[in-house]
């Protein structure tokens, strides 16, 4: 490999720096390819919600397994590859340096594509961690972390070699992305493997929920937003030929976004068992996000002032203008949905899906299209093959998005209103059958699939256009002539970068404030005094040395190191303050002194099957503190009830009903028939059939290791030999099989369906006997209808203040 | 029986601390942005527009 230095050549007293645009070309094409794949899977699963037959009764084609493939493909393959292309292209030019290492760049590209292929194979096979956007199994997690390190090293090494003193705001956004994603990814992927393809996350229940949505929300913030904003701040001015509307506003935009986003995760868990102070915190910080988000959106749109006449004719500007507008729309909708009362209507419905897609399709997708249309003619030195086709792409995409999100809004609000509607002074559900929400919105599922198809069609057209453009074209790498050397005096080095007055004063002030809030009594007072003393010391220092605030500010931003340290601090403050108090709670505290028993080994096996099949994609296990939920599903869920759930399964969408208290609601035979053919019991259901659960033989040999890992995670399983464990599993399975046989459905005890039934019958019954009574001859209630009895173990509820109160009965009108 | 977690009061102050830190950062960055010299702003906003060439 050539050293980057060998690429530089003296040119009339200047140094010529040729950029590494080869890797940018590769990432652009990969983004296009994986984008179409991700959208194709999206259209397929959207079709499955309209036609259950599209699941094809094939394990690897079911909605539960393909939905994670769709989300991962779109986020990490489509947007990820586009992000790497945009970051590498713009960074080289903004800092006037070639990417530090060609080897690392190449390694980065190919290793990322291998990870995508590995994900595309393992997810349909059912190898999953059961956490949204974090489904990939642990060997792939390690690979992702390593590739991210390669990206980070390559990026920061390039900054170290830069010839430009000042870091443009786009580079700030890239730094925040790299640092934050590192922290988020590592924390949310802490796990203990039980085999090469399976692991249990170290956090469980409410702790896992909090960590997951801290990650999930900020994956959107720092993978789908901050790098895109950096790309916007570079490419929009470039395409418009005008500087950004207000550079000053971009500074405020950056710091506000970084400090606010990291606190907003709990808005995904409103009205759940999450402590109320955390819900309020997430809601307030989400609302505060309105201001910087719209500041950034207006900054982007106003950059186009004076060139709106070109927006009519130039596809690149069309895509950018629409993308920035969708950024504004989706960041208006996000805080709106974070208001607790609005969230009570929108959560678990299609409204959230519509919100996500207005961001993904409108903001990310259109920004990608604009960037690629701008880059391709330059990187291949040939005009775009067809401007008309690009414009056709724009309108196909625009109509597709509007159809999609309009369908999701109508569907989501219908579902929310219908499922929460009550009558008789709020004591009775107006629509007790959950399937009413499914059947009444089915036509909107058709519309959604059609909208997605149009949008994908636009990208197929783009792929054709790009391929026609680059076919036979000469690849072209950019270069720039500069006068300065790479190691100028503005590089601070490690010691000066970390230990300088503004960094130390900032850290001292922040730690003092945290100590003031987190400690009690004298230590708290001392911390407050320390924070005040820090401010006074900073003023004194400034006056004595004759420094100005601007000097210190510039010192922070002149070098990537102190800037990165401060960004890390910003990210950690929000994360630690939110997560640590809940993590520190003991399991005993959560379970009220051990009132929750662990799953039996067979139930645990069934739970792992539930996760493998991706049931959490359609079924929640969290009854919110809302009348509609309590009337429909039973007493609201307590934090302790999922204390031993590694991972938690609270879910984020109810295409089917909540299952938190489904245990004991129906006889075993009902579950068998329902898994074999959902429509036999629930006419109108969109649930796939699961015939393989009745034929596939369970592999109980995995259980000893899984139980051992669960014990390491703090789940109080009693010591038992493997033989004792297998005997217990067999006894439990035999009882369920005997019950099924008595009900007229003989099935071998070692089939997967038996374990799945064992798990489902346990849900909501913390102390219930393992084996449910033999099926009664009476007809079971139809699916989706509330049962008339309160589940065992839930005869009485406890108010949030801890005062016992009568349980809220399920109502069967 | 389960009880909803009851957290001590100090955790509620984290919200206030978070807000204070954000406010401090917001005010600092806003002040700096407003006071940024014009010539520096021009240089920074011009960075993406600097000329480059292709081979």
3-state secondary structure A505-554: HHHHHHHHHHHHHHCCHHHHHHHHHHHHHHHHHHHHHHHHHCCCHHHHHH
Minimal Cβ distance to A592: which of B3, B17, B34:
B3
Which residues of A, range 575-594, sit inside 8 Å of B by Cβ?
Answer: 577-578, 581-582, 585, 589-592
> Residue A475 and residue A465: Cα distance in Å, rounded?
17
Distance from CA of B44 to the nearest CA of A (A): 6
Task: Count the neighbouring beta carbons within 10 Å of the beta carbon of residue A701.
Answer: 9
Tokens of A164: 């430009």
Q: Do B2 and A592 touch (CB under 8 A)?
A: yes
Instruction: Provide CB contacts within 8 A for A208, sequence distance 6+.
Output: A131, A201, A645, A646, A647, A648
Q: How many CB atoms lie within 10 A of CB A554?
A: 18
Q: Is there a contact between A770 and A596 (Cβ–Cβ < 8 Å)?
A: no
**Phi and psi torsions of A9, nearest 5°:** -135, 145
Q: What percent of chain B has pLDDT over 70?
A: 71
User: Rg of chain B over CA atoms, in angstroms?
Assistant: 23
Which residue, chain included where needed, has tokens 């010192």?
A: A555
Q: Search chain B and give the residue with CA nearest A767.
A: B1
Scanning A475-514 for CB atoms below 8 A from B yields 476-480, 509-510, 513-514
Kindly report the nearest CA distance between residue A395 and chain B, in angstroms.
29
Instruction: Give contacts of A574 with chain B, Cβ < 8 Å.
Output: 18
B43 to chain A: closest CA residue? A166
Q: Are A258 and A292 in contact (CB under 8 A)?
A: no
Task: Give A13 to chain B, closest Cα distance, Å.
Answer: 17
Q: Please, which pLDDT band fits residue B12 given cuts at 50, 70 and 90?
A: low
pLDDT value for A487: 54
CA distance A316 to A5: 34
Mutate to test the interface with A, among B6, B7, B8, B14 (most CBs of A within 10 A): B14
Chain B, nearest residue to A251 by Cα: B33
Q: Which of B3, B8, B35 to mutate to test the interface with A (most CBs of A within 10 A)?
A: B3
Taking CB atoms and an 8 Å limit, are B53 and A479 in contact across chains?
A: yes
CA distance A261 to A217: 8
A275–B3 C-beta distance less than 8 A: no
Query: Does the distance separating the beta carbons of A168 and B32 come in below 8 Å?
Result: no
Subunit contact A801:B43, Cβ cutoff 8 A: no
1.10.630.10, 1.20.210.10, 3.30.565.10, 3.30.420.280: which CATH number matches A4-11+18-421+430-471?
1.20.210.10
What interface predicted TM-score (ipTM) does this complex get?
0.81
Residues of A in contact with B4 (CB under 8 A): 273, 275, 638-639, 798-802
For residue A623 the two structure tokens come to 């009854």
Q: Which of B17, B36, B53 lies closest to A577 in CB terms?
A: B17
Helix (H, G, I), strand (E, B) or coil at A124: coil
CB half-sphere exposure, A459, CA atoms < 13 A? 28
The neighbouring-strand residues paired with A482 are: A15
**Distance from B39 to chain A by nearest Cα, in Å?**
12
Rounded Cα distance between A404 and A311, Å, is 24
Cβ neighbours of B11 in A, within 8 Å: 275, 277, 581
CATH number for A594-788 (one of 1.10.760.10, 3.40.50.300, 3.40.50.720, 1.20.1090.10): it is 1.10.760.10
Among the partner residues A238, A639, A802, nearest to B49 by beta-carbon distance? A238
Give the whole-angstrom CA distance, residue A677 versus residue A671: 10
- CB spacing of B15 vs A277 below 8 angstroms: yes
* pLDDT attached to residue A674: 95
Q: Does B18 sit within 8 Å of A275, measured CB to CB?
A: no
Q: Which chain A residues have a beta carbon less than 8 Å from that of B19?
A: 284
Closest of A85, A182, A188, A82 to residue A135, by C-alpha: A188
Q: What is the pLDDT of residue A425?
A: 82
User: In the structure, what pLDDT confidence band is assigned to residue B55 with cuts at 50, 70 and 90?
Assistant: low
> Do the chains contact at A166 and B44, CB–CB below 8 Å?
yes
Is the N-terminal amide bond of A647 cis, ω within 30° of 0? yes
Tokens of A429: 């559900």
CB contact under 8 A, A585 and B1: no
- pLDDT value of position A29: 97
C-alpha closest to that of A499 among A549, A560, A562: A562
DSSP β-bridge partners for residue A37: none
| Residue A2 pLDDT | 42
CB-based contact A798 B48, cutoff 8 Å: no
Cβ neighbours of residue A392 closer than 8 Å, sequence gap 6 or more: A458, A461
Q: Is the dihedral of CA A433, A343, A130, A404 positive or negative?
A: positive
Cα–Cα distance for residue pair A746/A668, rounded to 1 Å: 12
Q: How many CB atoms lie within 10 A of CB A387?
A: 15
Cβ of B48 and A260 within 8 Å? no
Q: Do B15 and A280 touch (CB under 8 A)?
A: yes
Which of B7, B18, B44 has the CB atom closest to A577's CB atom? Answer: B18
Inter-residue long-range contacts of A163-166, CB under 8 Å, 24+ positions, other chains counted: A163/A15, A163/A17, A163/A95, A163/A96, A163/A97, A163/A482, A163/A484, A163/A485, A163/A486, A163/A488, A164/A94, A164/A95, A164/A96, A164/A97, A164/B47, A165/A488, A165/A490, A165/A558, A166/A557, A166/A558, A166/B40, A166/B43, A166/B44, A166/B47
Cα A486 to Cα A468: distance, rounded to the nearest angstrom: 39
Provide, as residue numbers in chain B, all residues whose Cβ is less than 8 Å from the Cβ of A796: 1
Residue of A379, A429, A371, A506 lying closest to A20 (CA atoms) = A379
C-beta atoms surrounding A237 within 10 Å: 22
Residue numbers of A between 421 and 440 with CB closer than 8 Å to B: none
Residues of B in Cβ contact (< 8 Å) with A585: 5
Does A93 lie at the interface with B, CB-CB under 8 angstroms? yes
Give the nearest partner residue to B20 out of A242, A513, A549, using CB atoms. A513
The answer to whether the Cβ–Cβ distance between B3 and A802 falls below 8 Å is yes
Q: Which of 507-526 (A) contact B at CB < 8 A?
A: 509-510, 513-514, 516-520
Nearest-angstrom CA–CA distance, A316 and A236: 9
Q: Is the pTM of this model over 0.80?
A: yes
Which 734-793 residues of chain A touch chain B by CB within 8 A? 766
pLDDT tens, residue by residue, A582-622: 777 666 666 665 567 899 999 999 999 999 999 999 999 99
Residues ≥6 apart with Cβ < 8 Å to A612: A126, A127, A128
Closest residue by Cα to residue A122 from A148, A134, A147, A140:
A140
Helices (H) and strands (E) in chain B, counts: 2, 1
Cβ contact B45–A519 (<8 Å): no
From the CA of A738, how many Å to the nearest CA of chain B? 32
Task: Look at A463 and B34; give whichever has higher pLDDT.
Answer: A463
Contact between B54 and A378 using a beta-carbon 8 Å cutoff: yes
Under-70 pLDDT residues of chain A:
1-13, 484-494, 518, 557-559, 585-595, 767-813
């Amino acid at each position: 490999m050539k050293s980057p230095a060998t690429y530089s050549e003296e040119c009339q007293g200047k140094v010529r720096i040729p950029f590494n645009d080869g890797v940018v070309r590769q990432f652009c094409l990969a983004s296009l390819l994986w984008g179409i794949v991700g959208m194709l899977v999206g259209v397929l699963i959207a079709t499955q919600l309209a036609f259950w037959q599209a699941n094809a009764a094939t394990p690897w084609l079911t909605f539960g397994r393909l939905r994670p493939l769709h989300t991962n493909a779109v986020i990490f393959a489509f947007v990820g590859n586009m992000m790497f292309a945009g970051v590498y292209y713009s960074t080289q030019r903004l800092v006037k340096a070639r990417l530090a290492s060609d080897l690392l760049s190449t390694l980065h590209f190919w290793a990322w594509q291998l990870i995508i292929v590995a994900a595309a194979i393992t997810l349909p096979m059912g190898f999953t961690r059961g956490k949204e956007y974090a489904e990939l199994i642990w060997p792939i997690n390690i690979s992702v972390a390593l590739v991210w390190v390669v990206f980070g090293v390559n990026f920061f090494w390039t900054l170290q070699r830069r010839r430009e003193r000042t870091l443009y705001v786009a580079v700030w956004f890239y730094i925040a992305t790299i640092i934050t994603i590192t922290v988020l990814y590592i924390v949310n992927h802490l796990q203990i493997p039980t085999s090469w393809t399976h692991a249990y996350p170290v956090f469980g229940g409410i702790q896992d929920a909090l960590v997951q949505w801290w990650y999930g929300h900020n994956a959107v913030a720092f993978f789908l937003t901050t790098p895109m904003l950096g790309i916007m701040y570079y490419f929009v001015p470039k395409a418009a030929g005008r500087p950004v509307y207000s550079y000053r506003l971009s500074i405020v935009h950056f710091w506000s976004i970084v400090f606010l986003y990291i606190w907003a995760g709990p808005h995904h868990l409103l009205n759940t068992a999450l402590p109320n102070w955390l819900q309020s915190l997430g809601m307030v910080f989400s609302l505060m996000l309105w201001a910087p988000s719209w500041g950034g959106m207006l900054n982007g749109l106003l950059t186009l002032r004076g060139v709106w006449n070109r927006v009519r004719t130039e596809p690149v500007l069309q895509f950018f203008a629409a993308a920035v507008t969708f950024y504004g729309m989706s960041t208006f909708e996000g805080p709106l949905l974070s208001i607790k009362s609005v969230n009570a209507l929108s959560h678990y419905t299609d409204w959230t899906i519509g919100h996500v897609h207005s961001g993904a399709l409108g903001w990310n997708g259109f920004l990608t299209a604009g960037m690629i249309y701008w880059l391709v003619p330059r990187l291949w030195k040939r005009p775009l093959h067809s401007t008309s086709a690009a414009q056709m792409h724009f309108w196909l995409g625009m109509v597709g998005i509007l159809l999609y999100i309009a369908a999701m809004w109508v569907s989501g609000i219908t579902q929310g209103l219908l499922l929460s509607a009550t009558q008789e002074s709020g004591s009775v559900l107006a629509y007790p059958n959950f399937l009413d929400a499914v059947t009444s919105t089915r036509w909107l599922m058709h519309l959604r699939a059609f909208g997605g198809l149009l949008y994908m069609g636009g990208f197929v057209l783009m792929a054709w256009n790009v391929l026609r453009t680059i076919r036979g074209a000469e690849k072209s790498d950019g270069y720039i002539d500069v006068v300065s050397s790479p190691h100028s005096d503005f590089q601070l080095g490690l010691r000066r970068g970390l230990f300088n007055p503004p960094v130390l004063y900032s850290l001292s002030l922040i730690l003092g404030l945290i100590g003031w809030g987190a400690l009690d009594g004298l230590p708290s007072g001392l911390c407050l005094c320390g924070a005040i003393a820090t401010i006074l010391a900073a003023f004194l220092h400034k006056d004595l040395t004759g420094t100005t605030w601007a000097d210190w500010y510039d010192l922070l931003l002149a070098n990537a190191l102190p800037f990165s340290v401060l960004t890390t601090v910003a990210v950690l403050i929000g994360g630690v303050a939110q997560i640590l108090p809940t993590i520190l709670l003991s399991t005993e505290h959560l379970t009220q002194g051990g009132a929750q028993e662990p799953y039996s080994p067979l139930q645990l096996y069934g739970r792992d099957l539930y996760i493998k099949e991706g049931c959490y994609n359609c079924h929640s296990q969290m009854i919110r503190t809302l009348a509609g939920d309590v009337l429909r599903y039973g007493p609201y869920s307590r934090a302790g009830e999922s204390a031993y759930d590694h991972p938690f399964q609270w879910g984020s969408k109810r295409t089917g009903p909540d299952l938190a208290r489904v245990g004991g609601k129906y006889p075993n035979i009902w579950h068998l028939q329902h898994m074999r053919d959902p429509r036999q019991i629930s006419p109108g259901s969109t649930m796939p059939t699961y015939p393989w659960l009745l034929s596939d033989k369970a592999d109980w040999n995995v259980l000893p290791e899984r139980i051992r890992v669960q014990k390491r995670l703090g789940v109080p399983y009693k010591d038992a030999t493997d033989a004792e464990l297998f005997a217990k599993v067999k006894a439990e399975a035999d009882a369920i099989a005997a019950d099924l046989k008595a009900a007229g459905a003989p099935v071998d005890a070692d089939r997967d369906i038996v374990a799945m039934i064992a798990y489902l019958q346990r849900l909501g019954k913390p102390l219930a006997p393992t084996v449910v009574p033999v099926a009664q001859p009476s007809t079971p209630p139809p699916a989706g209808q509330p049962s008339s009895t309160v589940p065992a173990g839930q005869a009485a509820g406890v108010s949030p203040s801890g005062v016992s109160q009568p349980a809220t009965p399920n109502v069967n009108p | 029986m389960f009880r909803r977690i009851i957290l001590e009061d100090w955790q509620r102050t984290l919200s206030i601390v978070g807000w204070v830190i954000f406010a401090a950062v917001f005010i600092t960055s806003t002040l700096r942005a407003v006071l940024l010299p014009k010539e520096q702003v021009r240089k920074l906003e011009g960075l993406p527009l600097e000329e480059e060439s292709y081979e």
